[in-house]
Amino acid sequence: MKIVIVDDERHVCSLLEQTLEELEEEEGVVILSAPDGEAGLALIEKERPSLVFLDIMMPGLNGYEVSRAVRQRPELRGTQVILLTAKGQETDREEGLASGAVEYVTKPFDPDRVLLLARKLLGLEK
Amino acid sequence: MLRAFRFIAERTSYCFAFVPFVVLSGYFAASYAFFIFYFSVESLTPRTMGAFGVTLAGTLLLCTALHALGLGVLESAGIRAGLALPRRINQGFLHFQRNGSSSPSDLTALLRGLARFPQYHMGLAVGIALLVTVPSVAVEYVFSRSVRHLAAGIAGGLIAGVLYCYFCYVITEALSGELRSACRKEIARQGGSVPGVYGISLQRKIGFTVAVVFFSMLMLVYFLVFCRASLVLTSGFLITTFFTVAVLVSLYFRSVKAAFDEILRTARHVSQGRGELLHLGSNEKELVEFAEHFNDSVCETIALRENLEVQVDERTRELSLKAKELAEANDRLLELDRLKSRFLSSVSHELRTPLTSILGFSQIILRDLERAVLPVLPESGKVRAKADRIGTNVGVIRREGERLTRLINGVLDLARIESGRMEWRDTWVGLNSCIEQAVQVVEGAFDRDPDVRLAVRTESSLPQIFADPDRIVQVLVNLLNNALKFTRTGEVRVSSGKGDGREVELAVEDTGPGMPPEELDRVFERFHQVEGREGRPGGTGLGLAICREIVEHYGGCIWAESRIGQGCRFVFVLPADDSGGETFDGMPGSSKSKSESGSKSKDPSSPGSP
């Protein structure tokens, strides 16, 4: 089982990695990260993760575009996308969910809740 | 009469056209004088009668000839003594009538000539009267040798002379009115100034006319009562008098009527907005002066109107310039607004990203501390104390980070509301479900504080409101957090009810320290802190300001009620849909206490408890 984190902020990637560390240790989930949209999409296509944490405002391909691209690939049918963004307006949320994401989480986020969400979506609830 | 005058004037000369009328008036005057003379003397010898008749006929003929010669033939014969005025008038008339147009100065000269023309005819009449009277009276005296005849002859001659002068004046003035009016019109048309020339005043003219009429009446009475008079002669005198008076009065009233018709017509045109000037044919002083004043005011009105039009044009131009400037300013403002929104969006993003790290890592540190570090440390000792202190300090960082997040959210909310960019997802919503959601949000905070309990008292069957439920929940959460912040022990109670008429009312009460009356309004100001009022840390100073913005957006109002030591009550009312009934929105019943849902209550006497 794999999780891909796509965020241009290195610290946020690191924070997410540490947040999800528990899954890596306990469930053997592999956590990978990419610094922008293009690299993220390439990584997703290559690794076919079960879960993707995707930032929206990134240079190059933005989160919506990556999410839509993931939705359009039949081979990525099993990949669930969580948008994780600083954009908090209701319209942003709607656009995010319309692009194919299953969840829309605004920054700053509560690591415990994000972990719970990841467990739930991966079917690894305690 | 005018037609006949015009006919003759067009075929001979203008001044000659007056001759038949002047001669006719001479005949009337002479007849008048004859009657006076005849009634005054006892008898006339046939020779006297014959001589008188011959003299009269001869002089009448002479008059006509003189007129004719004087005004037409003499001129064409090159004899010009005393004929300067009629010659000038004739030339001016010819030039004006036949050549179409004349210069204003020529027309002014013609007008001045016409003004003097009645006097000229009067002078002529005096000469003719003398020519007729003196030989007639002399002949009668020679034959009769009677002083009475002489006196009667002189009196008759004088009366005839005066009447003849007057007739000449009136006839000349009446007949030349048309040309006078045309001249004035043409001068005004060419933009020249109409000269203020006039003859005898209206007052004197009216006075003299009345005097002539009265004199005729007196004479009639005198002849009938005191003199022997045959029926034929009396009838002759009556007819003469009647014709004299009728012609005079008719001429006179026609000229006055023409003047008033012209005044009325011009005034009507002026009142309809056509800047027309008054051009009277009258020669009377008062009427000429009236026309001058009238025309002055019309010119003034026209000038004012033109000035007004210029001003209106100018103002319109200024206004369109202003409108353009405003449109540009509006464009700039829109651009600024767009930039502001983008700036806010960027600020929001840029602030949230580092905050994500601060808050997230604080929590990770706390988690690691609790799970990995604290379990391996001894229960006491210096290292343990330091580790605990690290935990406490990181907790402070996390709480302050959360507060900063709330502050940013608050500033962004206020900015969005003010710039009209707030998303209002209005829908029909029941207040009690909003209360339920708000309670869910603040439940955790109340759970962490065992000394304060949360009571909910809602009224069922409340009308719905049309609003964004998230915003109503936001107001309630802000009020509840605010109440919790200032309440050490006791209860925070949220309640709903029907307000006055078509309103619903929500209230959040606490058992905190309360606040002085002067602070009740100011608490809704941004970043306002009530002096000496201590609460828990973590406030942003924006919560109540946002509450007010939201409530006022929906046309409601919010206020605070409080007394020192007796807690605070924050109330807001919102306009509701009074047509429908309420809605069951999940929290029916008159009262529901938070204690039912698990909160720890230390105050069982609270009205909110079951």
Q: B348 and A86 in contact by Cβ < 8 A?
A: yes
Burial per residue of B267-291, b for 16 or more beta-carbon CB atoms within 10 angstroms, e otherwise: eeebeeeeebbbbbbbbbbebbebb
Which residues in A lie closer than 8 A to residue B412 (C-beta atoms)? Answer: 88
Q: Which of A11, A89, A107 sits opposite B352 (nearest CB)?
A: A107
Q: Residue A102: its pLDDT value, please?
A: 94
Does the distance separating the beta carbons of A87 and B367 come in below 8 Å?
A: no
Q: Compute the distance between CA of residue B69 and CA of residue B487 in angstroms, rounded to an integer.
A: 129
The domain of A96 spans: 2-122
Residue in A with minimal Cα distance to B345: A87
> What is the chain A residue with the closest CA to B470?
A90
Q: Decide if B356 and A91 are in contact by the 8 Å CB cutoff.
A: no
A2 touching chain B per CB within 8 A: no
Domain count, chain A: 1
Q: What angle do CA B533, B537, B542 make, to 5 degrees?
A: 80
ipTM exceeding 0.85?
yes
Q: What is the pTM of this model?
A: 0.51
* Distance of alpha carbon B523 from alpha carbon B544, whole angstroms: 7
Q: Which residues of B30-47 are buried (b: 16+ CB within 10 A; e: fewer)?
A: bbbbbbbbbbbbeebeee
With contact defined as beta carbons under 8 Å apart, do B251 and B283 qualify? no
Of residues B26, B13, B146, B160, the one with CA closest to residue B91: B13
The H or E element containing residue B71 is: none
* Beta carbons within 10 angstroms of residue B437's beta carbon: 16
Residue type, A4: V
Q: What does pLDDT average to in each consecutive run of 10 residues of chain B (610 residues)?
A: 80 79 76 70 62 66 60 61 76 75 79 84 80 77 78 78 82 83 81 75 80 77 67 72 75 80 86 77 79 84 87 94 95 86 76 89 92 89 91 92 86 80 85 90 89 89 87 92 89 87 88 87 81 62 90 92 89 77 41 34 34
Q: Which of B349, B364, B425 sits opposite A86 (nearest CB)?
A: B349
Pair type for strands B568-575 and B557-562 = antiparallel
CB nearest to A15's CB, from B360, B409, B425? B360
Q: How far apart are CA B14 and CA B21, in angstroms?
A: 13
Q: Looking at the complex, does the CB of residue A109 fall below 8 Å from at least one CB of chain B?
A: yes
8 Å CB contact between B549 and B414: yes
Between chains, do A108 and B364 touch, taking CB under 8 Å as contact? no
User: Distance between CA A37 and CA A42 in Å, rounded?
Assistant: 9
What CA–CA distance (Å, rounded) separates B319 from B565? 60
Contact assignment for A107 to B353 by CB distance below 8 Å: yes
A63 band by pLDDT with thresholds 50, 70 and 90: very high
The one-letter code for the residue type at B76 is: S
Q: Does the beta-carbon distance from B357 to A19 stay under 8 Å? A: no
Subunit contact A108:B401, Cβ cutoff 8 A: yes
Q: Tell me if B363 and A109 make a contact (CB, 8 A cut-off).
A: no
* C-alpha triplet A12, A14, A16: angle, nearest 5°: 70
To the nearest whole angstrom, how far is the Cα of B553 from the nearest Cα of chain A? 19
* CB spacing of A15 vs B345 below 8 angstroms: no
- B interface mutation test: which of A7, A14, A15 has the most B CBs within 10 A? A15
CA pair distance B213, B588, nearest whole angstrom = 111
Could you tell me the two tokens for B131?
Answer: 């020519």
User: What is residue A99's predicted lDDT score, i.e. its pLDDT?
Assistant: 92
Residues 6+ apart with CB under 8 A from B237: B35, B39, B219, B220, B223
From the candidates A107, A110, A113, A116, which should be mutated to test the interface with B, based on the most B CB atoms within 10 A?
Answer: A107
Superfamily the domain B425-597 falls into: Histidine kinase-like ATPase, C-terminal domain (3.30.565.10)
So what's the pLDDT on residue B132? 73
Q: What distance in Å separates residue B356's CA from the closest CA in chain A? A: 4
Q: How far apart are CA B30 and CA B597, in angstroms?
A: 135
CATH code, domain carrying A86: 3.40.50.2300
B349 contacts A87? CB cut-off 8 A: yes
Q: Which of A15, A90, A107 sits opposite B423 (nearest CB)?
A: A90
Q: Calculate mean pLDDT across residues A96-105.
A: 93
CA distance A69 to A84: 17
Q: Are B353 and A110 within 8 A, CB to CB?
A: no
CB-nearest to A18 from B364, B405, B412 is B364
